[in-house]
Each structure stands twice: as C-alpha cells, then as structure tokens.
Structure 1
Amino acid sequence: MEDERAVPDDPDDKTAGRGREYRAPELAEAAGITVRTLRFYRERGLLPPPRRAGRIAWYDDRHLARLHTVAALLERGHTLGGIAELLAAFESGRRDVGELLGLREPFAVPWAEETRVRLTPGELADHFAGQVTPENLAASLDMGYLAVDGEEIVHISRRLLDASAELVRDGVPLSAVLEAGRRVRVQADALAETFTALVRQHLADGEALSSELERLWPLARTVIEAEVSLALARRVRAEVSAPRSRTDG
C-alpha cells in the first residue's frame, strides 16, 4: 500500500521545476473531496496515474484540474461511468464526444459579426498544439466557445479561435488563455449591460429595445475598442516607465 501521509516538504526535492505537486491528502483537500473519494476516482479510471517516488504517489496540477472537471460534470448531471467514458473517448480521439455530453444542437450566433468555424477533433487539436485536454475541452464547452454538431466541433468565433491559437503558439498555456477569457467575459458582460441600460433609459424599452440595440451596437463597439486601445497604451507606458529591480550577477 502506498504511503499517502503528508510529510514536510523536502528542500532538496529534485522535482521543484515541475510545478506544484501534491500528496494524496493535499490533493484531496485542494479538490474538496476525501482521500477515499480520490482513491475511488483513480480506481474508476477518472485520474491518470500519479508519479511515484518510492512508496509515495505524487500528483500535480493536471490531476487537480481533472478533479475539478469531474466535479463540474457531476453538477451537470453526468454519472461517474459516463464521465469516465467521456474522458476515455476524448483521449482516444473518438468523435462522439458531443453525444456523450448531450450536446447535439449547434448554437445560434446573435447579430454580432462573429463567424463560426467548423472543425474536426483532429483539426481542433492541431490548432492548440496538443493542449486540447479533457479539462480544457470541458472549460471551452462550459464557456460556450465550443459546441458539437454531428461529427464536427463548432467554435463560436473565428477571431477568438485565431487569437487563442496564436497565444498558445507564443507559449501561453491554453488553460491560462481560457481563464483569461473567462475574466474578460465578466468585464465584457458589464460593458454590454452599461450600453443596454443607456439605450433602455434614453431611447427605447420593451419590444423596441432589441431593434435599437441592433441599430446602435456599432457605436458601442467603437467606444469600447477606443477605450481598450487607450487602456492598453496607458498600461504599456506604465510598464515601460516602472522601475525594475536588478540583481547583481
């Protein structure tokens, strides 16, 4: 039986460059589950094997992300057996992931000028250099970036797809891109509400609101793009002019 007791960190641990690692009790605590549940998930094939050093099993942030994905899918009504099948299907490249998730209908795009992109699972993986993990797939589905239509995956926006893929090619992990997108969406929703409230208060309400928003949204986009451009310029100037700490070689 493996030793899953928490012990003090070893300052000479040669795994320091691998990112955060957890023993089983630490991983279970971070995921909000018990060690017994963690073992059960492993037995059901929901977690990849841990790295072993002697009798100690070491987990990392990928295992924590997988546990968060399992929790999210359980909240959406999936069974553990269904989740295991979903993860196995995606990792083996099967094309029926959408059926397993219960997502068969393509989403409707509003009148905003975004072009949907249809991709095979292989093409999606090629865009993101092997970073289309089950965790990143689940996050993209939850955010509405992706949906499944038959044997194809549909991305909601060509511009978002291209920008995300370029960031990944430049070295930003896809998980970090998705998290940034989640934070940007919060701000974007607030901007949209500001514009909608402005139109509702001063120009139209009720049935006329939709038509007025459609007519005036290019003005809102112009203001938002200008303000974001100015904000980025201010940030660049601040970064350039900020004093930098120097360490003697």
Structure 2
Amino acid sequence: MSGRGAGAEYRIEDLAHASGATVRTIRAYQDRGLLPTPERRGRANVYGETHLARLHRIADLLDRGYTLASIKELLEAWDAGRGLGGVLGLAAEVHGPWTDEKADRITREELDARFGGSQDDEAIAEAVELGVLERVPGRADEFLVPSPQELAVAVELHAAGVPLLAISGHLKELRGQVEHIASRFLEFTTEHVFARYLGHHPPTDSDAAEAASMVRRLRPLAQQTVDAELARAMQTFATRHLHHHLGSRESAIEGSETRPVLLPARTTQAVQDLVGAEQVAAFIAAAAEREVQARTLDILASSRPRANKLDEMG
C-alpha cells in the first residue's frame, strides 16, 4: 500500500485490512457491481480511497438492515448524483428506538428474588426465547432486560398468583395481536401518507427527508391510539365481567331498556344447564349482543365493495 492520504492506494489484501471486510467479500461486491472497477496495473488491481469509503458505506447500510440488492440501488442513485442523506435519515428514524424506555440489567439472583425466590429454569428459557430477557455473553448469571416495564408487569402478575408459564403464554398471544395492529397501522399510513414520498425507488433525497420528518410526527400516534382503545375496551369488558360474576340482572350498557322475549323451553333449559339458573338472562343477553355486533361488522365489510362499484360507475 502506498502512503495514506487523498491519493492512498491499496492492494486487495490491504483494502481488506483497512475496511474490515474479507478479500472474498470485496471480490463478491465487485461481481455484484457494488464497488467501482479497480485500476489495473500489470497483473494487479489497485484500489483507492473511493473503494475504502464505499466499503464503509456498504457496511453501515448492512448494519441498518438493508439487503445487498437495496444497497446496490441506493449506491446507483448516489453515483447518479442523487444524495443519500435523506434516505439514511429516513432509515435512522425507522430503525431508531420507538420508545423512551431504557434497557436494564439484572442478575439471576435478583431475578429469582423478584419472583418470590423460586428458581424456574424453564420460565427463564421461555423469557429468553420471547426476548423479555437477553443473555449477556460471558456472564451466565446476568441478563439484559430490554423492557423493564414488561418485566415489572410479569412480576406483579406472578405476585397476584399467575403462574410464570401462563404469563409467557399470554404474552405470546398478546404479541401476535399487537403485531397485527402494528402491521395494519403501517399499511394504513403507507397508503394514505407515505405513498407520495416513496414513488421513486429509491426515493429522492428531499422526499426521503420529508418522509423522515413525517415518521417523527406519526410515531407516537400508534401507541396513543392503542392506549385509548385499550382503555375503552377494558372499561367495557371489565364492566360486563363484573355484572356477569355478580349475577346482576341489569344490562352492562347504560340506558338500555329491558323487555320480555319468548324463547323455547329447551333453549332456556340448555343455557341453564350450561351456566346455572342465575346467569341465564345475562348469558342470553351477551350472546345476542355478540351476534348483533358480528352481523353489523359483516354488513360494514360487505358495503365497501358495493361502494367501490358505485364509484366506478359514477
């Protein structure tokens, strides 16, 4: 390798050492068109600072989660004179933390103490699999806690009498539902907000910068919406559960009127055998309400295609 500086030159082995990539990786990047063609001198290829800078940029984009195919498109845009500052800023917004919560560490002894002093290796393994705990390399008795709040919830539930494996099972179910909500929110915002910024592939520098700004604005909305809807649903269903378990004859919905309804004797008898005589009215009311809600959802869902056809005909 010649002297370092603006005109530094590298053999492929020197470039690999300076960049942290392997010789094999550098050659693979050349074959994929990710690196500019090196200068040929005799039987050797000579690389420069441009190649080193390109290798550092590729490594940075890989760390951000980009595939090599996506990186190639970004670098081609860069070579064509389109900046990457906006794109990288957008990537930083998306890949950055979506919560202000800070990770913490906890020892196995502290963990056992918080869960009543019992040692449950199966529950620990389940927590690691779910990502509630992460093992610290070289420290068998210490764990990283990505979300101390989530761990605190598990501690409180366990103190209230919920078995650890039941808690992890509930978390699995909850996580699947929350991931569905997150996916739908992203589809919704992409369709109505981000589609106009992502028309070019890759997006222009200015469009990417505007999209990054929009991510910052919209990021809290998903959690705020879920918090509000969860509070509403918890109040509704907690009230229903309370009425059900207290055997209240009053409807859980305020302001509703009651009126007698004739049912076949075999129906009321079947319900009574299922839930007991005291709960017959509450069970039938809840079942009827659920059926009405289901049919309402079916009507709403079926009305959209019809509306779309009318729009096309108009």
TM-score normalized by the length of structure 2: 0.41
In the TM superposition, residue 195 of structure 1 has moved relative to its aligned partner by 1.1
CA gap 1:232/1:131 in 2 versus in 1, 3 angstroms: farther
Distance 1:168 1:196 in 2: 34
CA contact (8 A) 1:199 1:212 kept: no
Q: Does the CA contact (< 8 Å) of 1:199 and 1:213 recur in 2?
A: no
Pair 1:124-2:126 in alignment: no
1:198 aligns with 2:188: yes
> Hey, what does 2:151 align to over in structure 1?
161
Q: 1:151-191, CA deviations, whole angstroms, 9 ceiling, x for partnerless residues?
A: 22011111111111011111111111111111110111011
Alignment partners' CA distance in 1, 2:230 and 2:224: 10
Equivalent in the alignment of 2:169: 179
Residue 131 of structure 1 and its aligned partner are, at CA, apart by 4.6
Partner of 1:136: 123
Please give the residue correspondences for 1:41-52 in structure 2 after superposition, counting only pairs within 5 Å. Answer: none
1:215 aligns with 2:221: no
CA distance in structure 1 between the partners assigned to 2:117 and 2:187 by the alignment: 42
Identity of aligned residues (%): 28
* Aligned residue among 179, 184, 200 for 1:189: 179
Amino acid at match of 2:172: R
The 1:131/1:213 distance shift into structure 2, 3 A limit, reads: farther
Is the alpha carbon distance of 1:131 and 1:186 closer, same or farther for their aligned partners in structure 2, counting shifts above 3 Å?
farther
1:190–1:131: structure 2 CA closer, same or farther, 3 Å change rule?
farther
Give 3-state SS (helix, strand or coil) of 1:119's partner.
strand
Q: How far did residue 199 of structure 1 move?
A: 1.4
CA distance in 2, matches of 1:192, 1:246: 41
Query: SS at 1:154's partner residue?
Result: strand
Contact 2:135 2:143 in 1 (8 A): yes
Q: Which has the larger radius of gyration?
A: 2
Preserved contact between residue 108 and residue 143 of structure 2 (Cα < 8 Å): yes
SS at match of 2:194: coil
Q: CA deviation at 1:235?
A: 0.7
- Report the counterpart of residue 147 of structure 1 in structure 2: 134
Q: Provide the residue aligned with 1:237 in structure 2.
A: 239
In structure 2, give the amino acid aligned to 1:115.
K
Q: What amino acid is the match of 2:218?
A: L
Of the structure 1 ranges 200-209 and 230-239, higher mean CA displacement relative to structure 2 is found in 200-209
Q: Is the 8 A contact 1:147 1:154 kept in 2?
A: yes
Assess if the C-alpha contact under 8 Å between 2:128 and 2:135 holds in 1: no
Instruction: Tell me by how many angstroms 1:193 deviates.
Output: 0.8
Tell me the distance in 2 between the aligned counterparts of 1:199 and 1:154: 33
CA contact (8 A) 1:147 1:155 kept: yes
Looking at structure 2, the residues matched to 158 and 198 of structure 1 have their Cα atoms a distance apart, in angstroms, of 30
CA contact (8 A) 2:98 2:219 kept: no
In the alignment, the residues of structure 2 paired with residue 118 and residue 212 of structure 1 have an alpha-carbon distance, to the nearest angstrom, of 33
Task: Measure, in 1, the Cα distance between the counterparts of 2:101 and 2:130.
Answer: 16
Gaps in structure 2 of 5+ consecutive residues:
1-94, 248-274, 278-314
Shift of 1:196: 0.8
Q: CA RMSD in A?
A: 2.5
For residue 229 of structure 2, the aligned residue among 217, 222, 227 is 227
CA distance in structure 1 between the partners assigned to 2:216 and 2:118 by the alignment: 37
